[in-house]
Amino acid sequence: MPQAFNLSVIFFSVTYLRRLSYCLLISLLLLNNNVQANDLSSWNIWKQNSELSVFYRASQYDDVIEIKAQAKVNSTLTGFIYFIEDFKQVPHWLDNVESAKCISQSSRNESVFITRFKGLWPISAREIVAHSRYWQNEDLSIEIAVKDASNAIEKNQNVIRMHVLSAHWTIVPMSADRIVITYQFMVDPKGNIPLWLTKPMTLNGIWSTLHNIQSQLPQSKWQQQVNDDIQEMQ
């Protein structure tokens, strides 16, 4: 009798814990969906289709908007990292870029680079100097932290140097050869350019950039490369 009682208690406890775990799982999933919905609730849609999207919202800085760009692309994680590190090819996919080059590299995943943008009347030519570092998380997603590094190199007097206020990449694998890219950033263009002028140019520029990445990245030679520091989804 005591043994039967113990078995019934154990059965009840296991059943209860399973149901509790299931309820907690459902609650977490619902909470996650709500968090994602709330995360986008403060954003305005600029353009969007089934694979690309560009959002924007006001920031705490005058005449600066915050932008979030997302894209689903056929690529490996390594292929994407090597693609954006191929500075000679940057002008082919990053909108309105004249040149890009690495200034210094402190480690395999950390570097300082300069990107020069073409002038387009009435906006003068500009440049950005930034420091980037990437790492891989336990869930195999990759993050790239980007910060301003204007002090790394003397300013070219013929161009206006912009200032990176914040910038962050997140690359999440969906399968072995498909990823979701999210790029969220704020850049001060400097030079007292009104927002009504910079806003459409920047948003259209990032939309063109997403299209270029989507068409060029899958065909890139870097898709066949391996990086010992990056684990791919199997």
The domain that contains 175 carries what CATH number? 3.30.530.20
Does 233 reside within a domain?
Answer: no
Answer yes or no: do 30 and 53 share one domain. Answer: no
Label residue 121 left, alpha or beta by phi (over 0 means left) and psi (-120 to 50 means alpha). Answer: beta
Decide if pLDDT at 14 tops 50. no
Does 230 reside within a domain?
Answer: no
Answer yes or no: do 21 and 118 share one domain. Answer: no
User: Measured between alpha carbons, how far is 181 from 72 in angstroms, rounded to an integer?
Assistant: 6
Report percent pLDDT > 90 for the chain.
72
Please report the pLDDT score of residue 33 as a whole number. Answer: 42
Answer yes or no: do 74 and 163 share one domain. Answer: yes
Does 188 reside within a domain?
Answer: yes
Amino acid of residue 2: P
User: Measured between alpha carbons, how far is 208 from 228 in angstroms, rounded to an integer?
Assistant: 32
Does 231 reside within a domain?
Answer: no
Structure confidence at residue 39 as a pLDDT band (50, 70, 90): low
Q: What is the bridge-based pairing of β-strands 65-73 and 52-58?
A: antiparallel
Please count the structural domains in the chain: 2
Listed residue (78, 63, 149, 88) closest to 109, CA to CA: 78
Answer yes or no: do 90 and 26 share one domain. Answer: no
Does 229 reside within a domain?
Answer: no
Residue-wise pLDDT for 103-145, tens only, equals 999 999 999 999 999 987 777 899 999 999 999 999 999 999 9
Whole-structure pTM value:
0.81
Answer yes or no: do 80 and 184 share one domain. Answer: yes
Q: Which range of residues forms the domain containing residue 26?
A: 1-41
Does 87 reside within a domain?
Answer: yes
Answer yes or no: do 108 and 32 share one domain. Answer: no
Answer yes or no: do 49 and 29 share one domain. Answer: no
Decide if pLDDT at 98 tops 90. yes
Does 56 reside within a domain?
Answer: yes
Does 32 reside within a domain?
Answer: yes
Of 130 and 25, more confident: 130
Average pLDDT value for the chain: 86
Answer yes or no: do 155 and 166 share one domain. Answer: yes
Answer yes or no: do 70 and 169 share one domain. Answer: yes
User: Measured between alpha carbons, how far is 148 from 164 in angstroms, rounded to an integer?
Assistant: 5
Answer yes or no: do 60 and 162 share one domain. Answer: yes
Please report the pLDDT score of residue 90 as a whole number. Answer: 98
Please report the pLDDT score of residue 23 as a whole number. Answer: 43
Answer yes or no: do 52 and 144 share one domain. Answer: yes
Answer yes or no: do 119 and 94 share one domain. Answer: yes
Residue-wise pLDDT for 138-177, tens only, equals 999 999 999 999 999 998 888 999 999 999 999 999 999 9
